[in-house]
């Protein structure tokens, strides 16, 4: 099995030296639960393009500093590629920006939330639980770091996860029992340490200090990254028509 990682953002040299590039996060998250898979990267943020949806058995879209609605030259080709993946039935997983860009590509709407930034360990409700999601609790906790949100789901997409802060926190495309695409707003690939480091680097002058301190205190809470690594592996292993 080949999994292509669509890299849509960069980390600073300091963070890359400590954690690696974004695709490495997903190899660490999913790889232990999908040992038959090999991973490769297509850096769309740097202008690279995938040859075709069939170049991989499944695709992962990473997070990004960019907004899905921004005038970046690599965004329209990415949207076109993602539509082609869904049309061909090639599985796609989208995380944070990946959640947003697929929704936008399929006719949904993304914008900066009036609620501001969501940072720290957030709790989400699981609204639907097909077999491949059986390892996820009905209430689960995952790191979040975002201001943008999907505010309108594409026609035909099913909201399967939600929170008070982020009502459209997870979307399924196709039959929930065996969907073509699964996307979520939070970051199961991130550790609490990484969220603290990137928040200090990027957000300390953007978010009020009191808000940031409250968010960072949540990072001591347990989170469900391992269960989500298993769920994403189960998603890619599904047999599809």
Domain containing residue 28: CATH number: 3.40.50.880
- Domain range spanning residue 47? 2-237
What pLDDT was estimated at residue 93?
98
> 78 and 8 in contact (C-beta within 8 Å)?
yes
What pLDDT was estimated at residue 153?
98
pLDDT digits (tens, 9 = 90+) for 18-31: 999 999 999 999 99
What pLDDT was estimated at residue 10?
96
pLDDT of 115 > 80? The answer is yes
What pLDDT was estimated at residue 205?
81
pLDDT of 135 > 90? The answer is yes
pLDDT of 13 > 80? The answer is yes
CA terminus-to-terminus distance, the chain: 17
Query: 202 or 122: whose pLDDT is higher?
Result: 122
pLDDT of 240 > 80? The answer is no
pLDDT digits (tens, 9 = 90+) for 51-106: 999 999 999 999 999 999 999 999 999 999 999 999 999 999 999 999 999 999 99
Neighbours of 28 (CB within 10 A): 15
Report the percentage of the chain scoring pLDDT > 70. 100
Q: What is the mean pLDDT of the chain?
A: 96
What pLDDT was estimated at residue 211?
83
pLDDT digits (tens, 9 = 90+) for 137-160: 999 999 999 999 999 999 999 999
Going by C-alpha positions, the residue among 162, 196, 156, 193 that lies closest to residue 176 is 156
Q: Which residues contact 148 (CB under 8 A, 6 or more apart)?
A: 67, 68, 97, 100, 110, 111, 112, 113
**pTM for the full predicted model:** 0.96
Domain count, the chain: 1
Given pLDDT bands bounded at 50, 70 and 90, which one contains residue 210? confident
Active site positions, annotated: 96, 187, 189
pLDDT digits (tens, 9 = 90+) for 167-189: 999 999 999 999 999 999 999 99
């Amino acid at each position: 099995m080949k999994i292509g990682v669509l890299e849509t953002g960069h980390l600073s040299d300091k963070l890359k030296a400590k954690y690696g590039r974004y695709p490495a996060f997903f190899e660490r998250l999913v790889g232990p639960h999908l040992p038959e898979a090999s991973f490769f990267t297509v850096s769309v943020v740097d202008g690279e393009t995938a040859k075709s949806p069939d170049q991989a058995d499944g695709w992962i879209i990473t997070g990004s500093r960019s907004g899905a609605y921004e005038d970046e030259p690599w965004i329209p080709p990415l949207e076109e590629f993602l539509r082609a993946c869904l049309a061909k039935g090639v599985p796609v997983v989208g995380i944070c920006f990946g959640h947003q860009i697929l929704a936008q590509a399929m006719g949904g709407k993304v914008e900066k939330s009036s609620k501001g930034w969501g940072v720290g360990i957030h709790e989400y409700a699981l609204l639907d639980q097909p077999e491949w999601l059986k390892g996820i609790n009905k209430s689960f906790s995952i790191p979040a770091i975002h201001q943008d949100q999907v505010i309108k789901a594409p026609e035909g997409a099913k909201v399967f996860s939600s929170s008070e802060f982020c009502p459209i926190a997870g979307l399924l495309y196709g039959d929930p029992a065996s969907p073509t695409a699964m996307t979520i707003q939070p970051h199961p690939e991130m550790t609490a340490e990484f969220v603290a480091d990137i928040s200090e680097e990027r957000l300390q002058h953007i978010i009020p200090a009191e808000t940031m301190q409250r968010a960072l205190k949540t990072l001591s809470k347990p989170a469900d990254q391992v269960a989500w690594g298993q769920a994403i592996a189960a998603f890619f292993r599904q047999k599809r028509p």
